[in-house]
Structure 1
Amino acid sequence: MKKKSFLNWKEGRRLRGIDLHCKGWKQTAIADALGVSKVAVNQWIRKCRSEGRKALQSKPKPGAPSRLSVEKKYQILELLYPGAEAWGFVGDIWTCSRIGNVIERQFGISYHRHHIAKIMKELNCTSHKPRVRALQRNEKAIQNWKRYKWPAIKKSKIRRALGTQS
């Protein structure tokens, strides 16, 4: 649904570029006005001359239609909200495999985990890896090392690179 309106917008921009060209605008001015490159405008004009205005119309990408409707895709977000443990997984981290499992349980549709990542990106959800830190981590010691020891190490490396020792 979103892609179709996006394609129509791009198509409208191309057709507007041709209209401006027919009114005598220069390619550079058209490119500036429409926020595209001069090369793009040149390609539109060339394509329009050789194949007509119809060649500038949007063509949907080939492929099977999505098995999940837009509504169901947004339902996925609601299903994931309670957390992974609410769905019986150990650890409250969502992976593509786990999300695929939930989709299959809820809607009876199975997807490969790589495709789950595409669906989540379409829903503006990005993957984040949790930071793994040792339980014995001593923040004060780390800050001390960064503040005093690391600069000394850095200075000695610079001196060695310059060939001076002190």
Structure 2
Amino acid sequence: MAAYKPSDYELLRRRCAELKEQGWKQSKIAQALGLTQGWVSRTLKKYRQEGQASLTWRKPSGPDCRLTNEQIVQLLAELNKGAEHHGFSGAV
């Protein structure tokens, strides 16, 4: 499988759907685009279930922050005191 940037995958998903609608087989789509047949299969399955919305690129959201706003302020204050204040020798 070729190395692509995360944002490139939207174009690949759109092209997969396009080629499938033109009657291409999944294995041929994978071969033509330098992808695995499994990736193409999952992409087309999601496209059948969710439609065009499944083809757009979305930045991964990641987990929600577990710290409260008060804890974030406290953490920043401690970090700003520096490493030596917390017992480390020299700046880290």
User: Structure 2-normalised TM-score?
Assistant: 0.59
CA RMSD of aligned residues (A): 2.5
Q: Which residue of 2 aligns with 1:56?
A: 55
User: Structure 1-normalised TM-score?
Assistant: 0.34
For residue 12 of structure 1, give the secondary structure of its aligned residue in structure 2.
helix
Structure number with higher relative contact order (C-alpha < 8 Å, ≥ 6 residues apart):
2
Task: Give per-residue Cα distances to partners, 1:79-124, cap 9 Å, x unaligned.
Answer: xxxxxxxxxxxxxxxxxxx8x84xxxxxxxxxxxxxxxxxxxxxxx
**Total equivalences in the alignment:** 63
Q: Which runs of 4+ in 1 moved over 2 A?
A: none
Unpaired runs of 5+ in structure 2?
63-89
Q: Which residue of 1 aligns with 2:28?
A: 29
* AA partner of residue 44 (structure 1): T
Q: Which residue of 1 aligns with 2:16?
A: 17
Task: Give per-residue Cα distances to partners, 1:107-147, cap 9 Å, x unaligned.
Answer: xxxxxxxxxxxxxxxxxxxxxxxxxxxxxxxxxxxxxxxxx
1:14 Cα deviation (Å)? 1.1
When structure 1 is superposed on structure 2, of 12-21 and 51-60 the one drifting more is 51-60
1:7 Cα deviation (Å)? 2.7
> Superposed, which structure 2 residues align to 1:122-141 within 5 Å?
none
Q: Which residue of 2 aligns with 1:138?
A: none
State the identity %.
33
* AA partner of residue 12 (structure 1): L
